[in-house]
Amino acid sequence: MNNTLAIIIPAYNEGTVIGKVIKSLPKKIENISKIFIIVVNDGSVDDTEKQAKKCSNTIVLTQILNLGVGAATYTGLCAASKLGATVAVTIDGDGQHDSLDIAKVISPIIHKKANIVIGNRFMLAQTIPFQRRILNYLASLLTYVLYKVRINDSQTGFRAYDEKALRFLKITSNGYEACSELIGEAKTHKLSFVEVPIKVRYTKYSMSKGQHISKSLDMAVNLIFNSLRRLK
């Protein structure tokens, strides 16, 4: 019961939805004695920071420049570690994830079954846009080629980490390629992981955010360069 949970929300220009996302988060979770909500405002130019600060019990960290979701996630993980959290979970700031799934995602960590839990959008029968399916398939394939780790949903932002993972994981990629880099890092540090099914809802708003085909080549190049840099 001594588990402390940090819910990390990287946010860039999410002023219209961030308040709603924070309010939807569970106040109590079984086996968790304390919950920190950490919003990492990634250099937003709208009122994301203001809206997040309006919410009670929320720690808002502001990055003065827009670095990307990878860097914002890493800032959140560092914050969780500094706060002494024993479990950290990351969810997207656009409201595409169901906050009720948090308990399910952290469950394998609470029961010491894995160091990292990956929320898999494809394990449940639900509507996922074709573009997202293709992008995820290609990214998962590249992740396998680079890190030799088979994973179905390599690009999900809904993940959970235990204390050991928080201590060892280090993300150097700033953008979306960090999702795959984390898997490589987990392998390097011999951290175990499991995938659990999560619900996802794509709206017009959430489709305008996140990964796009136009950025995918850039992401792939960054990921390849990053994996080359890791070779020692």
Partner 1 sequence: MRDVIRIVVSLFGVYIILKSWSEYKAKKESWIMLIFWTFIWLTVIVFAFFPSIVDYILGKFGTSKVGIGTFLGIGMVVLLFISYRLYIKSERIERQMTKLVQDLALKDLPRKKDNKKN
One residue of 40, 69, 146, 178 binding partner 1 per CB under 8 A: 40
When asked if residue 8 is in the footprint of partner 1 (CB under 8 A), the reply is no
CB of 82 to partner 1, least distance (A): 6
Residue 200 in the binding site for partner 1 (CB under 8 A): no
Region from 74-82, 103-111, 114-122, 177-185 binding partner 1, contact rule CB under 8 A: 74-82
Q: Measured from the CB atom, is 104 or 230 closer to partner 1?
A: 230
Q: How many CB atoms lie within 10 A of CB 205?
A: 13
Member of 78, 103, 138, 207 binding partner 1 (CB under 8 A):
78
Q: How far is the CB of 181 from partner 1 (least distance, A)?
A: 14
User: CA 176 to CA 216: how far, in whole Å?
Assistant: 9
Residue closer to partner 1 (CB basis): 70 or 157:
70
Choose one: 79-87, 111-119, 148-156, 162-170; the region binding partner 1 (CB under 8 A).
79-87
- Cα–Cα distance for residue pair 69/50, rounded to 1 Å: 19
Q: Is 71 in the site for partner 1 (CB under 8 A)?
A: yes
Q: Interface with partner 1 includes 96 (CB under 8 A)?
A: no
Cα separation of the two ends of the chain: 41
**How many residues belong to the site for partner 1 (CB under 8 A)?**
19
What would the two tokens of residue 115 be?
């160091």
Q: Binding residues for partner 1, per CB under 8 A?
A: 40, 43, 59, 61-65, 67, 71, 74-75, 78-79, 82-84, 172, 174
